[in-house]
Chain A
Amino acid sequence: MPELKTKLKEYRAKYDMKQGELADLVGVRRETIIRLEKGLYNPSLKLAMDIAAVFHTTVEELFSFEE
């Protein structure tokens, strides 16, 4: 099964943003962001787009799948 890879942590560091702050901006709990950063959870398209919008980037840049 393809594994979810994410650059969420890098982007968060780049924007000097805490997990809780990002969670508040996209309307989810901090636990959700933690799981996303670990690649343990596939976000919905809406959440992925909301996060991409926060970092002014694309969904493809933030998330990818590796075999």
Chain B
Amino acid sequence: MEKAKKKFSYSDFHRIIFIIFFTPVVIYIFHRIEGREYGDKLSILIGMAIFAVLQAVVQSVFYTLEKKDEMVQYNLSKANSIILCAVLIVLFGAALVNDYLIKGLICSDFCWITVMSAISLRSFLFMCFDTVSNKDTEEE
């Protein structure tokens, strides 16, 4: 019996996105940089592992703090979507500016400013989404 044709799903779409965007990163790190910036290839792997562990720690702390209420999760997901777009725009913008306009953006300063701004803006957006108007509050 002929196998039913599998429908292209949203998961498939993200598999393709993952491959398209992750493969160049790996190729760039291992073939172009060749570990020069970090010592050797093992150091890169160790660095990536440390980054992954730190990510997991931060995520687990955030998750335990933020999973309590589904409205909180809903508002945070909205804030996260906006922040993700903003960070991507800032990073692409900075890369273009650095490549074509002003050479020598201070990378570590820029990273710190972006990270701190993203975290603060995320919380600010959450507060905006989560605010209940006075009229609603008085309706008890």
Contacts and interface: CB of A to CB of B under 8 A. Distances in A.
Contacts of B132: 31, 34-35
A35 B71 CA distance: 9
B137 to A, nearest CB: 7
A11 to B, nearest CB: 15
Contacts of A37: 139
Interface size range on A against B: 10 to 19
Interface in B115-140: 130, 132, 136-137, 139-140
B70 interface: yes
Interface string A15-35: 000111000000011011011
Given A31-B130, A34-B132, A19 B71 contact: no
B71 A32 contact: yes
A41 B139 contact: no
Interface of B: 68-72, 74, 130, 132, 136-137, 139-140
Interface of A: 18-20, 28-29, 31-32, 34-35, 37-38, 41, 43-44, 47
30 contacts: A18-B140, A19-B139, A19-B140, A20-B140, A28-B69, A28-B70, A28-B71, A29-B68, A29-B69, A29-B71, A29-B72, A31-B71, A31-B130, A31-B132, A32-B69, A32-B70, A32-B71, A34-B132, A34-B136, A34-B137, A34-B139, A35-B71, A35-B132, A37-B139, A38-B136, A41-B71, A41-B74, A43-B70, A44-B70, A47-B70
Given A29-B69, A34-B139, A37-B139, 9 more contacts: A19-B139, A29-B72, A32-B70, A35-B71, A35-B132, A38-B136, A41-B71, A41-B74, A47-B70
